[in-house]
Amino acid sequence: MAENGSKHGKVACLLAAGFEDSEFRIPTDRLRQAGYQVDIIGMKAGEKLQGEKGKETATTTRGIGDADVDQYIALLIPGGYSPDKLRADDRFVQFVKDFDATKRPLAAVCHGPQLLLTAELVRGRTLTAWKTVQGDLRQAGARVVDQEVAVDDNWITSRKPDDLQAFSAKLLEELDELEERTGVQAPNEQALPPLA
């Protein structure tokens, strides 16, 4: 058992109001059921965020100013209006850049890849996203595929709520492989090393 009380490590979930309800709920439920702790990172800790459809409310675990990429085994970016709001704040963009540099699993669904786009990370990468985001990604030099899950190195991307079961399953599969490959499970108070 990890020091944080979870069976495995902590997963960072970047979130703002207007997130797509199911794109937050389904992956976070699957992660928690598998024994991962999910930290919801927003503008500030303790903030209540309402989903776009009003079905879900999430309370942020910590603010972006207190978030450290080295404490997380994976990064989750749900879609909806949330990513567009987050990418207007340079701290979230830098968090995504810094997390990507660790080569640990980074999962973005629907409009989530907008943060990857703003972080200028998509050129030459293969990914998918919501249909209206796909054109922006192509223009930025990404190889865009229209399929339920795209995997490119440490990235896992999906298009829409219909893809969430496959998206969540692939994220858990990648986390299992990471733990098997590296022996890294739960980050505690010590920083996780970047993966080669």
Answer yes or no: are the C-beta atoms of 110 and 130 closer than 8 Å: yes
* Inside any domain, residue 193: no
* Inside any domain, residue 29: yes
Its pTM stands at: 0.91
Domain holding 119, by residue range, is: 10-181
**What is the tally of structural domains in the chain?**
1
Distance (Å, rounded) from C-alpha 43 to C-alpha 46? 10
Q: What is the pLDDT of residues 21-43, one digit of tens each?
A: 999 999 999 999 999 999 999 99
Annotated catalytic residue, options 77, 106, 107, 110: 110
* Token pair 């979870």: residue: 6
* Inside any domain, residue 190: no
Residue 45's CATH number: 3.40.50.880
What value does the mean pLDDT take over residues 119-129? 98
Whether residue 110 lies in the annotated active site:
yes
* Inside any domain, residue 63: yes
* Inside any domain, residue 187: no
